Structure 1
Amino acid sequence: MRDVNWETIIDEQALAKLLPAEYSHFALPVKESLVVFLNGLPQRLQETILSAQFALPPTSSLSQRLGLLAHSCPVLQKLGQILARDQRLAPELRFELRKLESMPPTVSLEAIESILVEELGPLETRTIELLPPAIAEASVAVVIPFRDKSKSTQPEGVFKVLKPGIVERLHVELDMLAQVGTHLDHRLNELQIPQLDFYDTFDQVREKLLGELQLDKEQQHLASAASFYADQLDIRIPTVFEHCTPRVTAMERIYGEKVTDHQFKRSTEIRNLSELVARAMIARPILSPNKQALFHCDPHAGNLFITSDAKLAILDWSLVGFLGEVERAAIVQVMLAAISMRPTRMVATILELDVRRQCDRTALEACVAEWLRKMRRGQLPGLTWLVGMLDEAAQSARLSMSSDMLMFRKSLLTLSGVISEIGADSFNLDQVLFCEFLHNYIREWPSRWLSSFSSRAFPTRLSNLDLTEALLDSPLAISRHWRAMWQDVWDSREACTLS
């Protein structure tokens, strides 16, 4: 087969129709990124991908073809899982991408047994009985049930096994991801995309995704997650069993169904589950008392199960991140400064998050001023407001955040889509987070009497000094708020006069 010309195969105009109207101009950058990525794959892989596309009926939509393309490449499959619940994308594309959350197994039983024997030795000597068929396949691993006949009281387990050849395949694709970043950096002006350091950003993501190949680290993450949620009776984390290696994880099998597939009998059940997901996956890391707060970096619906006893089971802990005290304190300080109408303090705090120290301060000040105007127009300064401001600061002011902050942003995007598709009417994420903040504030109050005045070693990351300053500053904050509102009115009148 001759070299594949992906440039002519991928239709830019058709891509634009799948994107939100305000993002349709990103169709060309998306096309070029796919072309660079696919062109860099070994010729054999390109031919296999193209053959799969030819096997589809001629009437197949672009959404179907993109879904199959994502399934053909582990890195694109991971990206597809992230975007599958993004409400801004066309419904038909989201429908295809949702299939990537739990794919039917394609790895043969013989291949799975071969890997297990290579890693563990003869299964009979370990009294292990496999219970085929495999029940799930992810981007890098396949899952098959088993029973340990020597432990009659141990529940049924599953082996998570790295797929044959996946280590080499993922390294190739992640190298191409770096090439995509370089291409976008060189084409910023022509493509009219934000002035971001794409290579560095993709390189950070690359390092995170490589962690998926190290199942021994996932075993540590599972233990950490079990400890992190130990006091949450409505959360279940799979228990790690013996028979683990760097390529195999043995763990408890949890029965349930995807949170987006469950058929609820009452609307209150829908809302309770939505709140549980928000509390466990978002509020818990932000309001953790730990110095380093664990969070799940891959919370698509295929990894979030509701069990028969209405608990939330959180699966697949291969990809995790940690929010440190500095990041969580900054989140609270930015919102506190916003409520107090102190843009200078907001800018200074945001700059503390800039890991490359290349942020354009003037552009950041303009961004902060605009988002304060949005707040004065009625948008409350919650997490949704903060994330929107940081996203814009990254685009307009070259704000660069740590890989963990980037992954937490990605997790928020995925979780927002999952919660939306659970189906709770008028669900307000910020309201749930604010209630959790208040609960933690009340619980930590007794310990404040024995703490240093400037200490922020609380789940809320607010020191007694912060609270005192906010209280003393409140009359001036009200004054600044009204003065800014009158300035908005004056600016609007001036704009009307000029027009």
Structure 2
Amino acid sequence: MPKYRHLKRYRQIANSVVRHGFGHLLTHLGYSHLLPSVRRARKSETALLEYTRAQRLRMLLEDLGPTFVKFGQLLSTRPDLLPRDILDELTNLQDQVPSFPYSEVEAIIVRELGRPVEEAFHSFEKKPFAAASIGQVHRALLHNGRQVVVKVRRPNIVRQMKTDLEILRQAAKIADRRTPWGRIYNFEDIVQEVQRSVHDELDYLIEAENGERIRENLHTQENVIIPKIYWDFTTSAVLTMEMADGIKLTHPEKLKEAGHDPEQIVRDLVEVMFTQIFQHGLFHADPHPGNLAVDKDGKLIFMDFGIVGRLRGERKRQFILFLLGTISHNPRQLVRALSGMGVLSRRIDRKELLRDAERLMDKYLDTPLKRINLGQAVSEIFALAYEYHIRIPAEFTLLGKTIMTLEGVIEDLDKDLVLIELLRPYSNRLIRERFSYRLIKETAFEQFFETTDFVFSLPRRLNDMFDRVDTEGIPIQLNYPDIDRTFLHLDRLANRLSFSIVLLAFSIIMAGLIIGSGLVASITGTPLLWRIPIIEIGFFLASAMAGWLFWAIYRSGKL
């Protein structure tokens, strides 16, 4: 049951769902009887039928607000969960919203920094130069003369997103119980993933810490700039960082006019991203052209660290195996990597999965390396995981999305450069590192400690298990996948048996009436029961009953 304090929001969401042609989902989730207004609005489901299913879903998420836009943006990174047409459409999600008034900006800064705007900053531009669903950005000048940008979180956005996330979590729980897809993919886990992502983006202290850690990791890189965080002017709702002037990668023509070499920019970008992902295990996970710029000296500027990815330990080794299998066209290695990366269904046919992986690799086998789109290849492999119900963890899908975004940036800057070719030297480095003494020693230590932990904890686990068996018994769960089909066959058999019994009874009654009527007429010379046409009436009634029974069974579809 939805919480009463959220009932108004439930109805808003339900009405929007119906308006965009997804009213049937409410019935499956059991919300139609909880929200009567949905029933009155069902006629509006036909209003948007001119759009495709994917377009209607994208429009629905945009209509429901920033939480659902973030939810859709996360789903757009999950080719293991959604079909291609929906994934492509979700990449077009927009969270552009109007800016909020400066009076609210001023009130938030005073509350967060504990002092008026004019005391905290020498100057502060009242008009924001960028606005998004969670906050907006203003230019400002510190009293020491440093130019900074100040991100201010929208008022009431935390409460609004918390309400929407509670509703999403409740719907996910119901979907997990009532739908087969929910039992395979565990939608509640996906919503929790969205909740963690939204929590990180709502808290500017987390974004500041992410930026500071990446800045520290890359401090030896001379070709990259990570803006400095000014902690005295930063809280969970206000983020102040240095202004890094440069030309954004959204303007490749301006970069060329300024004398920058697109090829060198691409090579520097690939090097920095490779270092973040495979060396540090902490990387900027949203490297679209709006978050990247080049300063006058040709240095790369990274901005907006609200979304970062992490890849360490066993996860890193699994993705390296996956990447090497993709680059080397090795289907067996690819299947092993998918098996290690994801959560496999117990009913998966591994031989069929291997055959499909081989067919996918054959597609790229005779293709020149420079013509292979690595992002598309990764997306197709994750789509293969979707077909086989392999649930890929969020770290890998986020990294896959980062690779696809990076490839799009490279294509915009220089169409002659291909990411997979640029990664060839790094793949050799990954192979050497995989068999290096340092990594083998680290892996051996990890395995040793895991093994010893298992051995020492085994007696306690066995004792707990026997205690539970002693108190609760041993539950036995029977899993019969075709039980619904079996019950349908039994239902049809019972209906046919009932129909046969009625026909038999009808035949016996009619035979008795005919014989009895003939005997009475031969003895008395008059028909049975005062000349009443009992045979004709009986025949009519029995025929009507048999016809009614046949029609009822036929309508149920179980004859």
TM-score, normalised by the number of residues in structure 1: 0.65
Counterpart Cα distance in 1 of 2:196 and 2:61: 23
**1:4-43 maps to which residues of 2 (within 5 A)?**
5-11=15-21, 32=25
The answer to whether 1:320 aligns with 2:311 is: no
Give the match for residue 236 of structure 1.
225
The answer to whether 1:253 aligns with 2:257 is: no
Q: CA deviation digits over 1:77-113, x for unaligned, max 9?
A: 43566769x9x779x979964x64xx47511111111
Counterpart Cα distance in 1 of 2:364 and 2:299: 36
Counterpart Cα distance in 2 of 1:385 and 1:66: 22
The answer to whether 1:129 aligns with 2:102 is: no
After TM superposition, give the deviation of residue 299 of structure 1 in Å: 3.2
Give the match for residue 70 of structure 1.
62
- The correspondence for 1:296, drawn from 284, 288, 301, is 284
- The correspondence for 1:214, drawn from 203, 224, 235, is 203
| SS in structure 2 at match of 1:117 | helix
Amino-acid identity (%)? 22
After TM superposition, give the deviation of residue 133 of structure 1 in Å: 1.5
Give the match for residue 349 of structure 2.
363
Counterpart Cα distance in 1 of 2:317 and 2:17: 46
Q: CA deviation digits over 1:169-221, x for unaligned, max 9?
A: 111222333345446546756xx899422332232232222111221122211
Amino acid at match of 1:178: R
The answer to whether 1:372 aligns with 2:364 is: no
The answer to whether 1:146 aligns with 2:140 is: yes
Deviates more, 1:216-225 or 1:192-201: 192-201
After TM superposition, give the deviation of residue 302 of structure 1 in Å: 2.8
- What RMSD over aligned residues (CA atoms) do the two structures have, in Å? 4.6
After TM superposition, give the deviation of residue 306 of structure 1 in Å: 3.5
- The correspondence for 2:166, drawn from 167, 170, 175, is 175
Q: State the structure with more CA Rg.
A: 2
**1:414-425 maps to which residues of 2 (within 5 A)?**
414-420=405-411, 422-425=412-415
Counterpart Cα distance in 1 of 2:184 and 2:215: 40
Relative to structure 1, the CA distance from residue 382 to residue 250 in structure 2 (aligned partners, 3 Å threshold; closer, same or farther) is same
Amino acid at match of 2:212: A
After TM superposition, give the deviation of residue 165 of structure 1 in Å: 0.5
Give the match for residue 113 of structure 2.
120
**1:148-163 maps to which residues of 2 (within 5 A)?**
148-149=142-143, 151-152=144-145, 154=146, 156-163=147-154
After TM superposition, give the deviation of residue 244 of structure 1 in Å: 1.5
Q: CA deviation digits over 1:198-250, x for unaligned, max 9?
A: 33223223222211122112221111010122233222211111312222111
Relative to structure 1, the CA distance from residue 214 to residue 80 in structure 2 (aligned partners, 3 Å threshold; closer, same or farther) is same
After TM superposition, give the deviation of residue 117 of structure 1 in Å: 0.6
- The correspondence for 1:202, drawn from 164, 177, 191, is 191
CA contact (8 A) 1:335 1:386 kept: no
Give the match for residue 54 of structure 1.
none
Q: CA deviation digits over 1:412-441, x for unaligned, max 9?
A: 344344444x25324422111222334677
The answer to whether 1:431 aligns with 2:424 is: no
- The correspondence for 1:454, drawn from 401, 416, 440, is 440
Counterpart Cα distance in 2 of 1:197 and 1:216: 30
Counterpart Cα distance in 2 of 1:431 and 1:294: 23
Amino acid at match of 1:6: S
Give the match for residue 402 of structure 1.
393
Counterpart Cα distance in 1 of 2:208 and 2:112: 16
Counterpart Cα distance in 1 of 2:137 and 2:336: 47
| SS in structure 2 at match of 1:287 | helix
Relative to structure 1, the CA distance from residue 312 to residue 453 in structure 2 (aligned partners, 3 Å threshold; closer, same or farther) is closer
Counterpart Cα distance in 1 of 2:288 and 2:73: 6
CA contact (8 A) 1:70 1:77 kept: yes
In the alignment of these two chains, the number of paired residues is: 401
Relative to structure 1, the CA distance from residue 268 to residue 358 in structure 2 (aligned partners, 3 Å threshold; closer, same or farther) is same
CA contact (8 A) 1:134 1:143 kept: yes
Deviates more, 1:160-169 or 1:132-141: 132-141
Q: Which runs of 5+ in 1 are unaligned?
A: 13-27, 47-58, 458-499
Counterpart Cα distance in 2 of 1:319 and 1:329: 22
Relative to structure 1, the CA distance from residue 318 to residue 94 in structure 2 (aligned partners, 3 Å threshold; closer, same or farther) is closer
TM-score, normalised by the number of residues in structure 2: 0.59
| SS in structure 1 at match of 2:440 | coil
After TM superposition, give the deviation of residue 115 of structure 1 in Å: 0.5
- The correspondence for 1:280, drawn from 269, 272, 277, is 272
| SS in structure 2 at match of 1:255 | coil
Give the match for residue 106 of structure 1.
99
CA contact (8 A) 1:297 1:319 kept: yes
CA contact (8 A) 1:256 1:308 kept: yes
User: Which structure: greater helix fraction?
Assistant: 2
Amino acid at match of 2:243: R
Amino acid at match of 1:302: G
Relative to structure 1, the CA distance from residue 115 to residue 364 in structure 2 (aligned partners, 3 Å threshold; closer, same or farther) is farther
Counterpart Cα distance in 2 of 1:94 and 1:270: 29
| SS in structure 2 at match of 1:352 | helix
CA contact (8 A) 2:153 2:202 kept: yes
CA contact (8 A) 1:196 1:394 kept: no
Counterpart Cα distance in 2 of 1:183 and 1:417: 38
Relative to structure 1, the CA distance from residue 417 to residue 80 in structure 2 (aligned partners, 3 Å threshold; closer, same or farther) is farther
Amino acid at match of 2:62: A
Relative to structure 1, the CA distance from residue 327 to residue 180 in structure 2 (aligned partners, 3 Å threshold; closer, same or farther) is same
Give the match for residue 554 of structure 2.
none
Larger RCO: Structure 1 or Structure 2 (Cα < 8 Å, ≥ 6 residues apart)? Answer: 1
After TM superposition, give the deviation of residue 375 of structure 1 in Å: 2.6
| SS in structure 2 at match of 1:251 | strand
Give the match for residue 461 of structure 1.
none
Relative to structure 1, the CA distance from residue 128 to residue 311 in structure 2 (aligned partners, 3 Å threshold; closer, same or farther) is same
